[in-house]
Amino acid sequence: MPPSNESAPASPPLKIARATLHDRIVERLHDMLIEGELAPGERLNEVALAARLEVSRTPLREALRVLASQRLVTLSPHHGAFVTRMTRAEIDDAFELMSALERFSAELACERVTESEIAAIRAEHAEMMAYWARRDLPRYYRANQRIHDLINRAARNDELRETYLALNRRLHPLRLSSNRSAAKWQKAVEEHEAMLAALERRDAAELGELMRRHLLEKRDAVLEGWSHEDR
Amino acid sequence: MPPSNESAPASPPLKIARATLHDRIVERLHDMLIEGELAPGERLNEVALAARLEVSRTPLREALRVLASQRLVTLSPHHGAFVTRMTRAEIDDAFELMSALERFSAELACERVTESEIAAIRAEHAEMMAYWARRDLPRYYRANQRIHDLINRAARNDELRETYLALNRRLHPLRLSSNRSAAKWQKAVEEHEAMLAALERRDAAELGELMRRHLLEKRDAVLEGWSHEDR
DNA sequence: ATATTGCGTAATGAATGCAAAAAACAGTGA
DNA sequence: TCACTGTTTTTTGCATTCATTACGCAATAT
C-alpha cells in the first residue's frame, strides 16, 4: 500500500447515478416555473404541492431549498415558499449581467468556434428567420434560445454556460413582455443577421459588442412592458 | 372587494425573518469549507456531521442540498456527500469566467464609483501595501478580497456581486497555491497599483483589461501549484 | 492464491409524527 | 362600523422512524 493513499480522501464514484426523488422534483418544479404553471409571487403550500406531485414533504422541502438557492423561489421562514417575483432593480441588474455573459461568450466563441459549429448556427439562424417570416413567435423564441446556446457551447466554458443558463431560467418568465412591437422584432432580427456575420468573420470585439447591446435592448423592451403590467 | 384582488397572488412578508436552523447550517458549513476544516474530496457522513453540529439529519440534509446546488459539495445518490474537488478544466473555466466578471465589474465601477468610495479603496489599498511590506500573506489576502468587493459594490449590480461571490467561494480553497513566489507577488502588487490608478482616472477600458489579465495570471499561478499537488 | 458470491452492517432516501409559530377567525367593546 | 383581543386552525420546522441501497468481509470454488 503506498503511503500517500492513507491520507487520500475518498472521492465520489464516477458511475451514472439514477436520479433521486428530490432531484426529479427540482426538475419538475423547474418545468412548472418555465411553463408558467406557477406564477411569480404565487405561494407554494408544502402539503398541497406534495399532494399534487404525489410525494412526501421531505423531498419537496429539499427541492424548495435548492430552488431557493437558485433564487427561483423565495423562502420566508414560518411563512412559506413563494415563486420569486423580481423587482425592477433586480431585472435591471440581471439583464446587465447577462449582457456581460453574452459578450464574453461571444468573444470566446470567436476564438474557439469550429466550421461545423458555425454551419449549425447558420442553419438554426435560417430556421429562426423562417419562423420570423411566419410571425411564429414561440418557435422563433425557441430557435433564438438554441442559437444563443450554440454560441455558448462554442465558447467552451462550462462554468460560463451554467451561469448563463441559471440566469436565463430566472429571466424566462419575463420573455412574454418583449418583442411585442413589430418594429422591435424587426430590429432584433437585423441584429441577429449582424451577429451571424461577425461570428463568421470571427470578429470577437464586434460580436461581443453586438451581443451586449442586443441584450441591453432586450432589457429595455422587457422593462417597458413590465412597468405597466406588474407592480 | 376589488376584482383584481381575487387573482392577486400573496407575496412574502417583508419583515426580517430570523434564520432557521438549516440556514445556519449552510452558514456553518460555508465557514468550515472556507476555513479548510473540510478538505476537498472529503466525505461528509450525515450522522457524524449531524452529531458534530448537534442537529438532526433533516436540516443538515437540506443544507447539503443547497451547498450542492452551489457546487460546493457534490452529491452522489446512495453514496453520500463529498466536498467538491474541482478538476483542472473546471478551475480553468472558473477563472476565465471570473476574469469576465472582474472586467465587467471594473467597467461598471468606473462609471458609477463615488469619490468617497475611491477614497475607501485607496485606504484599503494602502493597508494592503503595508501587509505586503511585512510579508503578511493572510492579511494581504483579506485586504485584497476587500478591495475587490469594494469595486464590486461600486459597480452597483447585486446580481453581478452575488455571482462573483458565489464563484469566489468555490475558488477559495485554491488560494493557497498562488502567490508563493516573491516575483509573482511583486507583479501582483504592481498590477494593483495600476488598477488603482486606472480607477482614479475612471478609465473603464483600461481597468477592465487590467483586472481581466490580473485574474488570468492568478489562474496560471494557481494551476502551476495545482499540477504537482493534487491529481 | 485469486476471484467470486453471499450475507451482515452501515449509510442514505423518504415518510411520518410532533411541536412551535403564524394566520385566520370570532367575539367583545367602544 | 371599526378596532382589538383571545382562541382556533393551519402551516411550517425539525426529529424520529422505516425502507432501500451500497459497502465490507468472509467463505467457497476455481
Of residues A183, A174, A182, A154, the one with CA closest to residue A222: A174
Rounded distance between C-alpha atoms, residue B129 and residue B144, angstroms: 10
Of residues A222, A202, A198, the one with CA closest to residue A211: A198
Residue A74 has pLDDT above 60, yes or no: yes
Instruction: Kindly indicate the confidence band of residue A223, based on its pLDDT and cuts at 50, 70 and 90.
Output: confident
Which nt has its C1' nearest the CA of A77?
D12
For residue A34, give the 3-state DSSP assignment.
Answer: helix
Rounded distance between C-alpha atoms, residue B209 and residue B217, angstroms: 12
Distance from chain centroid for Cα B165: 4
Of residues B104, B102, B97, the one with CA closest to residue B71: B97
Residue A184 has pLDDT above 70, yes or no: yes
Chain B residues within an 8 Å CB radius of A20: 77
Scan for cell 477592465, then name that residue: B208
Tell me where in chain B the CATH 1.10.10.10 domain(s) lie. Answer: 21-83
- pLDDT higher at B19 or B155: B155
Of residues A138, A221, A213, the one with CA closest to residue A177: A221
Task: Work out the mean pLDDT of chain A and round it to a whole number.
Answer: 88
Instruction: Kindly indicate the confidence band of residue B54, based on its pLDDT and cuts at 50, 70 and 90.
Output: very high
Nearest by CB to B41, from A11, A23, A100: name it.
A11
DSSP one-letter code for A156: T
Instruction: Kindly indicate the confidence band of residue A182, based on its pLDDT and cuts at 50, 70 and 90.
Output: confident
Q: What is the CA B53 to C1' C20 distance in angstroms?
A: 22
- What number is the average pLDDT over the span A183-207? 93
- What number is the average pLDDT over the span A142-163? 97
For residue A157, give the 3-state DSSP assignment.
Answer: coil
Chain A residues within an 8 Å CB radius of B101: 100
For chain D, which bases have at least one atom within 7 A of a protein Cβ? 11-17, 21-23
Instruction: Kindly indicate the confidence band of residue A11, based on its pLDDT and cuts at 50, 70 and 90.
Output: low
Least confident of A40-49, A109-118, A216-225, B174-183: B174-183
CATH number, domain A88-227, options 3.40.50.300, 1.10.357.10, 1.20.120.530, 1.10.10.10: 1.20.120.530
* pLDDT score at A1: 32
* pLDDT score at B18: 60
What values do phi and psi take at B16, rounded to 5? -65, 125
Task: Work out the mean pLDDT of chain B and round it to a whole number.
Answer: 88
* pLDDT score at A4: 34
Residue A2 has pLDDT above 50, yes or no: no
Are the CB atoms for A226 and A91 separated by under 8 Å?
A: yes
Nearest by CB to B100, from A17, A89, A104: name it.
A104
Instruction: Kindly indicate the confidence band of residue A136, based on its pLDDT and cuts at 50, 70 and 90.
Output: very high
On whether any CB of chain A is under 8 Å from the CB of B205, the answer is: no
DSSP one-letter code for B229: T
| One-letter amino acid of A184 | K
For residue A73, give the 3-state DSSP assignment.
Answer: strand
Chain A residues within an 8 Å CB radius of B157: 93, 96-97
Chain A residues within an 8 Å CB radius of B9: 39-43, 82-83
Residue A6 has pLDDT above 50, yes or no: no
Do A66 and B66 count as a contact with CB atoms less than 8 A apart? yes
Q: What is the CA A1 to C1' C2 distance in angstroms?
A: 18
Tell me where in chain B the CATH 1.20.120.530 domain(s) lie. Answer: 88-227
Residue B13 has pLDDT above 70, yes or no: no
CATH code at B21-83: 1.10.10.10
Lay out the sheet containing B80-83: strands in order across. Answer: B43-44, B80-83, B73-76
User: For B142-185, what is each residue's pLDDT tens digit?
Assistant: 999 999 999 999 999 999 999 999 999 999 988 877 656 888 88
Least confident of A120-134, B137-151, B174-188: B174-188
Per the structure, the residues numbered 7 to 26 in protein chain A that have their CB within 7 angstroms of any atom of strand D are 13
- pLDDT higher at A223 or B229: A223
User: For B197-227, what is each residue's pLDDT tens digit?
Assistant: 999 999 999 999 999 999 988 898 888 877 6
**Angle between the N-to-C axes of helices A57-69 and A21-34, in degrees from 0 to 180, rounded to the nearest 10:** 60
Rounded distance between C-alpha atoms, residue B28 and residue B26, angstroms: 5
Nearest by CB to A41, from B11, B85, B89: name it.
B11
- What number is the average pLDDT over the span A58-67? 93
Quote the Cα angle for A40-A41-A43, to 5°: 115
Of residues A216, A120, A112, A229, the one with CA closest to residue A161: A112
Taking the alpha carbons of A162, A166, A172, A178 in that order, is the dihedral positive or negative?
A: negative
Residue A228 has pLDDT above 70, yes or no: no
Rounded distance between C-alpha atoms, residue A108 and residue A152, angstroms: 9
Residue A67 has pLDDT above 90, yes or no: yes
